[in-house]
Every structure is written in structure tokens, then in C-alpha cells.
Structure 1
Amino acid sequence: MSRHLRLALVQAPAESFEQFADGLRLRMKSPNRAELVVYPELHLCSRGAEAMTLEEYYDTYAEPLDGPRGAALGALARELGVWLIPGTVLERAEDGKVHNTAVVYGPDGELVAHYRKIFTWRPYEPLCVGREFVVFDLPGTARIGLSVCYDAWYPEVTRHLAWMGAELVVNLVQTSTSGRAQEIPVNTANAIVNQIWVASVNGASPTAQGRSLLVDPEGHVQVAAVGTEDTTLLAVVDLDRVAAARKHGTGGDSWPWDHFAPDDTPLELPLYGGRIDPVTWRPAVSPWTPEALRPAVPAPVPTAPCPAAGAAGEETAR
């Protein structure tokens, strides 16, 4: 039996909390009702921002996650019985620093995960950076990873989330520039090379450039907004397609997570001061992946020794 997730990606312009709450209630009474509902980056923290100084912006929108806004978001998720990602918010941490933070609320109204954006859009996004990758579970259904806008440009982010077992990575976006054209193939590539679902949810006009999309583990776009208008993309995500792509191969012929044999020597990565160790080069498996699609522990793959340069030259001479 496949695992399915009814997912709504809301491409909307920035709203006040009241507009957001009323709109969400209407969506959940319509055919757009979903188990997981996702809004764009800074969806509730953008109105009027262009006319504010940085201090005014912080004073208007930055608050602790357990502040009044967080309580209201939790109450709304509980009222509607949904998993809710209301975009990102300005989080004022205990040390006074302000982060661009994705938040996730469960149907019981509890804050189940929060992720501080790592790759802020410097120099135009003067916010403090995060330093932890975050995944969360929808019990019995899926493991989901969080990334925010510019994070998608750094393949290390999505790769780590996939390695942590994410079957769907939600990329929350508020791109108002022509750069949206590049974000689409970047998100598609992240899905392909990690064999996961990727949802990239951008704001609508006039806040942002739209063109939200959902990509499957083999790189096929399942749903997409072709323009910048306010719209809701609804999709049913088959989570078992992640394990199927890894078992049978992307397009039936590529197994990127199975490249390394256990007896391969580690690959040094000077850029990171680290390495790929074949022993640990394998993503975590969601607890709800069917047994038939779980990978077997690979046996060492016999490999012929690499010939020495001199030997090869001698063979050529003969």
C-alpha cells in the first residue's frame, strides 16, 4: 500500500494575519483541502517592509516563536486539523538575534519543527544565519526536510536533508527578481540528484514572481504555476516513489546513492576539510518505507586494481 500525502502549495502575496487566517479557512472548506498546507517565505512578515528601516522592520515583525503570533498559528492549525507551514517568520531568539525561520505546526497546534535559514541572501537579507539542518516526521506518512529560498542554490543543504531521511524537501521562497528563472532548474536538479520530492513555493504578485512547482524524485514536474497569480497548487504525493526510484534507478538506469562500494577508499573533499566515507554514504530510510522497498545492506563489490601508469605504458608499447 503506497503512502500518499495530500499537499497544498499556496502561492499568495504577503498578507496580514487576519487575511491569511480567513484565506486558509476558505481553502480548507474547498477542494483545496489538504493534510499539509505550505505558504511562501516571510508570508506574514512582508507587508509594508519596503518602506521600513531595518529597526522598524524588526520592531514590527520579530518576536519569539512562543510569542502571540506563534500561539495564534498553533491555534489555527488545531482549529483546521492540518499540518501547517505558514512560510517563514522573523524569529527573535533569546540572545536578541533575529532569524528568518521556517515553522511547522501539527494538527494538535504544537510547534513540531523550526528551521533557521542558513544561506541568507547576502547582502540584501540582513538576518542572522542558522547552523542546523532540520527534518520532521508526519507519523505514519513521511519525513520532510525544510529549506528556505537561497538554500536551494547550495546543494549541500538538500543533500544533507536527503541523507537525514527526507523524502520531500519543502523550499519556501519569496523571490521577486528575475532569479526565479534559475531557481526552477535548481530545484528540479535537487530532486533528481537526491531522488526525492521537492516543493518550491514562491509568493504571488506583487510580492514575488510566483512559478511555484512540485518535482518528483525523477525530475518530472507534477504541478506548477505558470505565472505570478494568487493560486493554490494541490497534489497527492506518493512517498514510496522515493524508495522505488532508489531501488529501481532514476529512469531505470541511475543509482546515485549506491555509487560507493563499502570497500572503496574514502574520497577526500578538500573544499570541506572532510570526506565521503563509503561506509556512511547512504541516506536514512523513513520508518514508514515498505519492507519491499528498503535497501539491502550491499556486499563489497569486487574491483580490479587500478593499473600503474608504467604498466599501462608498457602494454601500449607492445
Structure 2
Amino acid sequence: MVATSLKIAAIQMVSVKDWKSNLHQACLMIKEAAMAHAKLVVLPEFFIQITGQDDGKRLDIAEALGDGVIQRKLSQVAKECNIFLNAGTILIKASDKQYYNTSIIYDQNGELLVYYNKIHLFKFKDENNEYDESITFKAGKDIVSADILGFKVGLSICYDLRFPELYRKMGELDFILLPSAFTYTTGKAHWEILARSRAIENQCYFIAVNQGGIHETGRHTYGHSMIIDPWGRVVSSCEEGNQIIYATIERDVIAEVRKKLPALEHRVID
């Protein structure tokens, strides 16, 4: 089936320490989005659990790909709601001490359609915060895109946003998914600028779904989830807190932008 439009719901969360509470909250919001006729629902990075600066504390909820309580529940809710579900990111075991930060898409039957392991691992240090994902994460290697009702979608996660060459490698896309947990510091400075830039240069929709608020751990994520059209216009957004934003991907809008400004055809450097 090739659709001419696709209604998307982006779920922003302020995840807490208890992963079961987060899973319950996510499922409630997924069902709310489905009731609003969204056909693709997107969760943020680390929706199942967000820690402070010690990512090692998440290891106890890492699962094998395709198995585990968390994945079974997400598959079930996708099927029950008859939606495509981009399950933000969950932790997939890579070894006893490391795991992948993995973004999974389930189809309307609850089947695993595609998955992507985050390639670029975040590292940041200032006078107040220090993060180094490479301590407990293993970097993915494969660039991944998928087909959803005839739309070509590119998969990416958080820090990937800063690397435009990743999206160029995917070829022409209709929209890009970016579940994130941007810090307040980096988000305030760069979030919107980067997200709109990726939409403009790829002439496609960009769905930037963030964690948004002050967490029980003390970590402060930026929020400001947004959906951006191929001209770089923010068509839907929010600030902080648990919220759902909606927008409809229109194939005609993508075609119109590329017709009046055929920048993708003018590329001469691979």
C-alpha cells in the first residue's frame, strides 16, 4: 500500500526511575495517539528508563533483540492499536558489560519491521555535567532506512543529529525519525537549529522527539519536541513535560518543495 499522507504522533516524556511506570505511561500515551488517528507513533530515547550520568544502572533492563517483557508489550500495543510504532530506544544486550541503544519499529501486526543501533555515541563535559556513552554502549555500524506505507523513512537517534553525512548515505527520504534525550545545555543551544537544518538539506519531514524536563535523577532534558516540514517550517511543537504533538506527512508537500528547489538533483559531491 502506498499512502499519500501519514498522520504521525510524537510522544514527549519525562521518564522516571521506575521502568514499569515508564512503560505504563508510554502505553497510555500510545493509545491516546491511536485514538486521535495517528498511524505512526514515536517515543523518545530512553523512554523506558533515564538515569543521571551513570548509564551502567540501566544494564538490568537490557534485553536480547526480539525477546523480553518490554519488547513483547510494545509489540502487543502496536498490534492492538493497529499502528506503526517507533519504540524510541530500548537497551539491547551486546555483551555482559555493554549494550546497544536500539530504535525498533513495529508494524501494524506487532511484528518487528526494522531496528537501528545508534552509531554516534555522545560525549560531553562542562563544569556541571559529564557524559560518555562509550563506557557502557557499543556503537552500531549499519545505516538503516525502512518503508512505511510507501514512505521512505530514515532511522537515527539523538547525537546522530549532528552528523549530516549519516542522512546523505540513506539517499532521498520522505521523513526522518530522531528519538532523543538531548541535555538541556546542548538542546537550548543547538536542538532546533540542527533539526531544522536536517529537514531543509534533505528536503523531507523531520520528527524530533525528545525527553523534556527535570527527571527524578536530577538530569534535565531539553524537551521542545518538534515536527518540521521539508521547507524547514516547524509545523508542530511543544515545550516541556509529558505531551503528544501531531502532524501529517504529505507526499505532495515533499514533491512541491523538491520541484521548486531541486537541490537534491544539484548535488555533485557524494
TM-score by length of 2: 0.84
Question: Larger deviation: 146-155 or 8-17?
Answer: 8-17
User: Within 5 Å, which residues of 2 pair with 1:254-273?
Assistant: 255-260=262-267
Q: CA deviation at 1:94?
A: 7.2
1:138 alignment partner, one of 145, 148, 161:
148
Contact 1:28 1:80 (C-alpha < 8 Å) held by counterparts: yes
Specify the SS of the correspondent of 2:169.
Answer: helix
Contact 1:191 1:216 (C-alpha < 8 Å) held by counterparts: yes
Q: Which amino acid aligns with 1:125?
A: E
Shift in alpha-carbon separation, 1:110–1:94, aligned structure 2, 3 A? farther
Partner of 1:119: 120
Question: Larger deviation: 92-101 or 191-200?
Answer: 92-101
Q: CA deviation at 1:62?
A: 1.0
User: Within 5 Å, which residues of 2 pair with 1:303-318?
Assistant: none
Q: CA deviation at 1:247?
A: 2.0
Specify the SS of the correspondent of 2:104.
Answer: strand
Partner of 1:213: 226
1:150 alignment partner, one of 151, 159, 163:
159
Contact 1:173 1:203 (C-alpha < 8 Å) held by counterparts: yes
User: Within 5 Å, which residues of 2 pair with 1:227-246?
Assistant: 227-246=239-258
Question: Where in structure 2 are there 5+ consecutive unaligned residues?
Answer: 16-20, 124-130, 216-220
Q: CA deviation at 1:50?
A: 3.1
Residue 19 in structure 1 maps to residue 28 in structure 2: no
Q: CA deviation at 1:18?
A: 2.3
User: Within 5 Å, which residues of 2 pair with 1:256-295?
Assistant: 256-260=263-267, 276=270
Partner of 1:36: 40
Contact 2:22 2:48 (C-alpha < 8 Å) held by counterparts: yes
- Which one has more relative contact order, counting CA pairs under 8 Å at least 6 apart? 2
Specify the SS of the correspondent of 1:75.
Answer: helix
Partner of 1:64: 64
Partner of 1:166: 173
Contact 1:152 1:158 (C-alpha < 8 Å) held by counterparts: no
Contact 2:11 2:29 (C-alpha < 8 Å) held by counterparts: no
Residue-pair matches, total: 248
Instruction: Work out the CA distance in 1 between the residues paired with 2:202 and 2:154.
Output: 12
Which string of whole-angstrom CA distances, capped at 9 and with x for unpartnered residues, describes residues 132-177 of structure 1? 111111134x11111101101011112223x1x3210011110132
Partner of 2:191: 183
Instruction: Work out the CA distance in 1 between the residues paired with 2:235 and 2:32.
Output: 24
Shift in alpha-carbon separation, 1:248–1:52, aligned structure 2, 3 A? closer
1:45 alignment partner, one of 49, 56, 67:
49
Partner of 2:237: 224
Q: CA deviation at 1:97?
A: 4.3
Partner of 1:129: 139
Shift in alpha-carbon separation, 1:243–1:224, aligned structure 2, 3 A? same
Q: CA deviation at 1:232?
A: 0.7
From the CA coordinates, give the structure whose radius of gyration is larger: 1
TM-score by length of 1: 0.72
Contact 1:45 1:90 (C-alpha < 8 Å) held by counterparts: no
Q: CA deviation at 1:218?
A: 1.1
Residue 87 in structure 1 maps to residue 54 in structure 2: no
Shift in alpha-carbon separation, 1:53–1:98, aligned structure 2, 3 A? closer
Specify the SS of the correspondent of 1:237.
Answer: strand
Contact 1:2 1:238 (C-alpha < 8 Å) held by counterparts: no
Question: Where in structure 1 are there 5+ consecutive unaligned residues?
Answer: 250-254, 262-266, 268-275, 277-318
Q: CA deviation at 1:206?
A: 2.3
Taking only the aligned residue pairs, the percentage that are identical comes to 25
Which string of whole-angstrom CA distances, capped at 9 and with x for unpartnered residues, describes residues 94-151 of structure 1? 79741111110011010101001111102521311111111111134x1111110110
